[in-house]
Amino acid sequence: MGAVRSRFDIPVMADISTLEEGVTAAANGVDILAPTLAGYTSYSRQLVGPGPDLQLTKELVRLGVPVIAEGRLQTPQDVRAAFAAGVHAVVVGSMITRPHLITRHFLTGVPKPNTPIGAIDIGGTKIAAAISAGVDWVDRERAPTPADADAVVNTAIDLLQRLIHRNRIGSLAAIGVSTGGGVDHEGRIASATDIMPGFAGTDLRTAVADAFGVPVGVMNDGHAAALAEAEIGAGSGYATVLGLTIGTGLGGGIVHHGELYRGGSGLAGSVGHLIIEPGGRPCSCGGTGCAEAYVSGGGLLQTYNEAA
């Protein structure tokens, strides 16, 4: 670090994740310390909660090197606490570079609308519909998944319409749809296996939006489940969440810092068709040895029967 300063004649700042790293950096003559990486390295993740690591910040200040507080600072209270700990400056990074976090933070203090929201889940075995008001379910309905792609869409719409009529709901604020298969950014089914024959190419978002006249979001079911767990479920508070869904098929999703990672294909985290047994069991995608052929409802049943 001293060599960097002497060669380029510039200050050196060390981003660290633990006190030990801070001590080492200070001993090597850095000009500035910042606990930016606290909670983001594999060995510091268990040491840090959802907010800034103020205890680490205080310990770094005691080393006598100027400290810039950065990492997980989300509220004015966090900033005041950092300055009270003795830092020279504060950087609120992700709140600037990812403005949706600001919106999410303020929305937690906004009263939830009373207008109900519709939900549809399309799977290989069943289709479910529900209406929610806030975090409470108003009513639910389900039906077997038809073999015909058009019938799948019509069944989903009919289920939700039935709930609206039964509960005498005037209108919905929006509708969220989770579905098996790959979903493009326009809400169309980009790909599907033989579990749902003919489903690929279906413009699901447009069909549901035309039926109800409200905003509609469509997402792969594994992605939706992972995002829900990361937001309000078992993954809440963790930087990175991998969710897996086991049903008629095998799906999943990756959420990093509150954002769903889709990848170039839009199917990142959808692990069902990774080959785990070359030349193994036939899969609904037409291949053999896919994870879904072993880790799914039917796959697990087959494994049980083979072992019996």
Burial classification of residue 16, based on how many CB atoms lie within 10 Å of its CB (0-12 exposed, 13-18 middle, 19 or more buried): buried
Residue 294, phi-psi category: left (phi > 0), alpha (psi -120 to 50), beta (remainder): alpha
Query: Given this model, what pLDDT does residue 187 score?
Result: 93
- Is pLDDT at 219 greater than 80 in this prediction? yes
Residues sharing a CB contact under 8 Å with residue 115, sequence separation 6 or more, in sequence order: 171, 172, 173
Query: Quick one: DSSP state of residue 173?
Result: S
Q: Which of 275, 267, 299, 281 is nearest to 192 (CA)?
A: 267
Q: Are residues 48 and 148 in the same domain?
A: no
Binned at pLDDT 50, 70 and 90, residue 96 comes out as: low
pLDDT tens-digit series, residues 232-241: 888 888 889 9
* pLDDT score recorded for residue 300: 94
| Number of DSSP helices (H) and strands (E) in the chain, helices first | 10, 14
Q: Which of 97-101, 114-118, 126-130, 289-293 has the lowest mean pLDDT?
A: 97-101
Would you state the pLDDT for residue 29? Answer: 87
CA-derived radius of gyration, the chain = 25
Residues 226 and 121 in one domain: yes
The verdict on residue 263 lying in a domain is no
- Single residue among 56, 89, 108 that ends a domain in this structure: 108
| Residue where one domain finishes, among candidates 47, 82, 108 | 108
pLDDT band of residue 105 (cuts 50, 70, 90) is low
Query: For residue 64, what are the CA distances in angstroms to 67, 83, 168?
Result: 9, 15, 67
Token digits of residue 110: 């906004």
Find the length of the chain.
Answer: 308
Identify whether 265 is part of a domain.
no
The pLDDT value given to residue 106: 55
CATH number, residue 29: 3.20.20.70
Look at residue 103 in the predicted model and tell me its pLDDT: 62
Mean residue pLDDT of the chain comes to 87
Q: Give the residue from 236, 262, 286 where a domain finishes.
A: 236
Is a pLDDT exceeding 80 seen at residue 3?
Answer: no
Please check the confidence at residue 243 and state whether its pLDDT lies above 90: yes
**DSSP class of residue 273?**
G
Surface-to-core class of residue 203, CB atoms within 10 Å of its CB (0-12 exposed, 13-18 middle, 19+ buried): middle
pLDDT tens digits, 184-213: 989 999 988 888 889 999 999 999 999 999
Q: Which residues contact 308 (CB under 8 A, 6 or more apart)?
A: none
Helix (H, G, I), strand (E, B) or coil at 120: strand
The pLDDT confidence band at residue 40, using thresholds 50, 70 and 90, is confident
Instruction: Give the chain's domain count.
Output: 3
- Whether residue 100 is contained in a domain is answered as yes
List, for residues 18-36, the tens digit of each pLDDT value.
999 999 999 988 999 999 8
pLDDT of residue 131: 95
Least confident of 70-79, 215-224, 299-308: 70-79
Alpha carbons 231 and 227: distance in angstroms, whole number: 6
Establish if 85 belongs to a structural domain: yes
In DSSP terms, 275 is beta-bridged to 290
pLDDT in tens, 144-180: 999 999 999 999 999 999 999 999 998 899 999 999 9
Which token pair is 67? 């400290």
Cβ neighbors of 19 (< 8 A, separation 6 or more) are: 56, 59, 60
Expressed as residue numbers, the domain containing 293 is 274-307
Residue 8 pLDDT greater than 80, yes or no: no
Q: Where are the beta strands (DSSP E) in 247-294?
A: 250-256, 259-261
**Distance, CA of 174 to chain centre:** 20
Q: Characterize 36-62 residue by residue with b for buried, 16 or more Cβ atoms within 10 angstroms of its Cβ, and e for exposed.
A: bbbbbeeebeeebeebbbbebbbbbbe
Neighbours of 35 (CB within 10 A): 31
The percent of residues above 70 in pLDDT, for the chain, comes to 88
